[in-house]
Amino acid sequence: MMIRDKILKLHHRHKSSSSFSEKSGHRFDFSFSNLQARQVPKGWDKLSLSLISVETGKTVSKSGKASVRNGNCKWTETWSQSMWITPDDISNNQEQFPLKFIVTMGSARSSILGEASVNLARFRDAKAFTPVSLPLKKCNHGTVLQLEIKCLTSIRDNESKDMPFYAGEENMEYNNMEMKSEETSLPRLSSYHSFASTEDSLGRESFSSQSDSNRHGNLIIGRQESIDSRSSASCGSYSFCESPKSYNSPYNLMISGSGKNAQNQKDDFKQFSHDNTTSVQLSASSRNSLQAKDTTSKELIAEAMMWEQNAQSLKTDLEMSRKEFADQSQQIENLKMELCSLGTERDGSMQEIKHLEILLQESMEKEKSTESLMLRVRDMDSVEKILKEELRIQKESNDDMSFQLSKTQESNIQLVSILQEMEETVEKQKLEIKNLLEVKSNSENQQNLEDKLQQLQESQKNLENTTLHLEK
């Protein structure tokens, strides 16, 4: 009953742990680098990029402002983001987009160029940087966000971190149950076969601990084979169990060659039970030590990989901080140069202000002198004479202008009369042309009529030219 309860307990624990791991999923670390925007429209001089969590709506990461050159904008930052991905996210046909990128020019909502979402479950196997192009949504300019995504933690690493704990615990308890069952159910087990089965189990455990490609499966298979070897040995002590291993075991040969009775077998059991218990305890302790070493070595390997990844990320961050420091130092130098130029401009403007103040004082002094001169003018007779002379000159000029006006009026009247006469002559010529056309249609001498018509047209042109000349 105790063995059955323990088996049920282990089966329930294994089932719950597997269901928990299936529901909970794995934690993946992703790296985003080489962030850049293509086909940026004109008018967007500097852009910044933000990484937003769709579930919480909070900003996970934000870049600095980068300048746009020839329609391209590149950010020098490298981001790292952890994401919990469940098997439902991987097997689900409908893609989940837990993160989105937003490209903005400032903090205002109206300055958002566009946004793009990414499904990180698709890049869980990306051991190297994978280039991705994401067209910006809510953007009518065709802008595309390009980046490279790398998964720092693969699925096998996560499974290797999770599996050995459950597998080792389950196999340890199962082997303890097996040892107890051997002590209670094997009354005629020889020390030689116990030692052989112990060596077999230890050899398989060491072989399973040395394999790296499929270490978890080999660990379980090796222990299962050791269990099968011991169970086959226990079956070999009875007459109803038939297996190839029991036929070839030295214990079975010893049983078949001996002619002892039941009393001698009881004495043998009393003699060998102590050796059997000791050998089983040694095998259990060696198995536990190997399991502990295997678990610690795997944990150390996983921790070393984690520290290596952290070192790589720190190196990347250090390079980025160095670049940022160099950029900031360059910006500081540029600001110093601008400050010096502004200082020189300020000095020049101060000198100009002083010069303008001097000119203003001189102009005020000139105005005062002109006022003093005007006050000194007392001779009003001379002023009146000057004014009368100017009036006389104005009158004479007015008389001349009136005379010229009258002449122009007379010439205009003559021109009007000439124009009237020309119009009358034109009307007469038109009538003559009509008559000539009628005569042309009826007469046979068409050539003469055409000549006359040409002459009339030439005379009409001459008249028009004369009228134009007269109008001028």
**Range with the largest mean pLDDT of 22-36, 161-175, 310-324, 447-461:** 310-324
449 and 421 part of one domain:
yes
76 and 215 part of one domain:
no
Read off the pLDDT of residues 420-457 as tens digits, 9 standing for 90 and up.
Answer: 888 888 888 888 888 877 776 776 666 777 777 788 88
In a domain, 346, yes or no: no
Mean pLDDT along residues 267-289:
62
Q: Is the dihedral of CA 389, 394, 399, 403 positive or negative?
A: positive
- Burial class from Cβ neighbours inside 10 Å (0-12, 13-18, 19+) for residue 37 reads buried
Chosen domain end from 104, 127, 153: 153
In a domain, 352, yes or no: no
CA end-to-end span of the chain: 137
Residue 10 scores a pLDDT above 60: no
120 and 235 part of one domain:
no
Q: Which of 5-9, 30-34, 434-438, 464-468 has the lowest mean pLDDT?
A: 5-9
- pTM of the model as a whole: 0.32
Chosen domain end from 101, 127, 153: 153
Mean pLDDT along residues 83-101:
68
Q: Which of 90-94, 144-148, 250-254, 259-263 has the lowest mean pLDDT?
A: 250-254
Residue 140 scores a pLDDT above 90: no
Gap between the Cα atoms of 282 and 289, Å rounded: 10
Chosen domain end from 153, 185, 208: 153
Cβ–Cβ < 8 Å for 313, 81: no
Cα dihedral 347, 353, 358, 360, rounded to 10, equals 170
180 and 205 part of one domain:
yes
135 and 212 part of one domain:
no
In a domain, 49, yes or no: yes
What's the confidence (pLDDT) of residue 440?
Answer: 66
* Lookup: tokens for 244: 């190839």
In a domain, 322, yes or no: no
What's the confidence (pLDDT) of residue 143?
Answer: 92
What's the confidence (pLDDT) of residue 131?
Answer: 92
Mean pLDDT for all residues in the chain = 70
Query: Domains in the chain: how many in total?
Result: 3
Read off the pLDDT of residues 38-63 as tens digits, 9 standing for 90 and up.
Answer: 999 888 888 999 999 888 888 888 88
Q: Domain range holding 182?
A: 158-307
73 and 126 part of one domain:
yes
What's the confidence (pLDDT) of residue 358?
Answer: 92
User: pLDDT-based confidence at 206, cuts 50/70/90?
Assistant: very low
Read off the pLDDT of residues 352-392 as tens digits, 9 standing for 90 and up.
Answer: 899 999 999 888 888 888 777 777 767 777 778 888 898 88
140 and 182 part of one domain:
no
